[in-house]
């Protein structure tokens, strides 16, 4: 599949968090193929360095669960560019724990990475875009979990629901400056941190996707690129689910009992 935007993204300054993860890496590769200048961030130094070297990208190691980590990343951005043109808030954590064993510290970490850090980064980048006259884009990476949870994923689901509302608020705040803010909800992608499950569970998840397959390298990045392109110039404050219909409802393949 070709993601051909010509010269539209050539030289555009793109900040991607959680870049060493599967969705982050796919997104970085897509922007790189379009000629963008990348600043990639992740808490994991080694895979981040490898990705940065492969793509010829700038990198910044930062733990976004801490205020210091967020400030370190913002300092790296400000030291590199007057502003980012595009911010992809992709970093996220998803520990699976039931209510009885979910402690306050775990809740705070999930919210810090999945909600607070995207807020702080977007707030700063929207300010620098506005100051420099850049009509840029912010894309927050959400999840269908914002609308359907599991017994062990409640805090994660709550964080993604909060992120969707954060997107809508930021979109209204930034609109007068010509800055657009949207959410993309990627589908189930085996091999990602969120989807690190046994083979039999992967098969079960695949069977629940109406289009009959899991998410691949071009699915979420295609949506992200489109939202950041001129083709989506009238799109802001929305969520685009790219999940094969998973969030549409409970799906049972023909010939399989739903009970």
Q: Is residue 252 one of the residues assigned to a domain? A: no
- The CATH code of the domain that includes 228 is 3.40.50.720
Q: Is residue 75 one of the residues assigned to a domain? A: yes
**Rounded mean pLDDT, 128-145:** 96
Q: Is residue 5 one of the residues assigned to a domain? A: no
**Rounded mean pLDDT, 119-138:** 99
Tokens of 98: 């039931």
Q: Is residue 159 one of the residues assigned to a domain? A: yes
Q: pLDDT-derived band of residue 153, with 50, 70 and 90 as boundaries?
A: confident
Residue range(s) defining the domain that contains residue 29: 13-233
Does residue 98 register a pLDDT over 70? yes
Q: Is residue 139 one of the residues assigned to a domain? A: yes
Average pLDDT of every residue of the chain = 92
**Rounded mean pLDDT, 14-26:** 98
Q: Which residue has the higher pLDDT, 257 or 203?
A: 203
Of the given ranges (56-60, 72-76, 169-173, 210-214), which has the lowest mean pLDDT? 210-214
Tokens of 47: 């895979």
Q: Is residue 246 one of the residues assigned to a domain? A: no
Does residue 122 register a pLDDT over 80? yes
Number of structural domains (the chain) is 1
Does residue 256 register a pLDDT over 70? no
Does residue 194 register a pLDDT over 60? no
For the chain, how long is the longest CA-to-CA vector? 59
Q: What residues act catalytically?
A: 156
Q: Is residue 101 one of the residues assigned to a domain? A: yes
Q: Is residue 248 one of the residues assigned to a domain? A: no
């Amino acid at each position: 599949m070709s993601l051909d935007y010509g010269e539209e993204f050539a030289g555009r300054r793109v900040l991607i968090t959680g870049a060493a993860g599967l969705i982050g890496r796919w997104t970085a590769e897509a922007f790189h193929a379009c000629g963008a200048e990348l600043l990639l961030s992740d808490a994991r130094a080694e895979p981040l360095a490898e990705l940065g070297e492969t793509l010829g990208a700038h990198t910044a190691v930062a733990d976004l669960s801490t205020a210091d980590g967020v400030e370190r990343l913002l300092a790296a951005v400000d030291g590199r560019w007057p502003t980012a043109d595009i911010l992809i808030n992709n970093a996220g954590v998803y520990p699976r724990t039931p209510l009885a064993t979910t402690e306050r510290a775990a809740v705070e970490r999930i919210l810090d990475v999945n909600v607070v850090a995207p807020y702080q980064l977007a707030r700063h980048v929207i300010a620098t875009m506005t100051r420099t006259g850049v009509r840029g884009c912010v894309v927050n990476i959400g999840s269908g979990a914002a609308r359907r949870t599991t017994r062990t994923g409640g805090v994660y689901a709550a964080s993604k629901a909060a992120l969707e509302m954060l997107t809508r608020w930021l979109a209204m705040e930034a609109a007068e400056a010509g800055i657009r803010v949207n959410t993309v909800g990627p589908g189930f992608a085996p091999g990602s941190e969120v989807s690190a499950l046994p083979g039999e569970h992967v098969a079960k998840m695949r069977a629940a996707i109406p289009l009959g397959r899991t998410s691949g390298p071009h699915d979420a990045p295609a949506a992200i690129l489109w939202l950041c392109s001129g083709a989506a110039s009238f799109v802001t404050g929305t969520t685009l689910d790219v999940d094969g219909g998973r969030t549409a409802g409970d799906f049972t393949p023909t010939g399989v009992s739903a009970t």
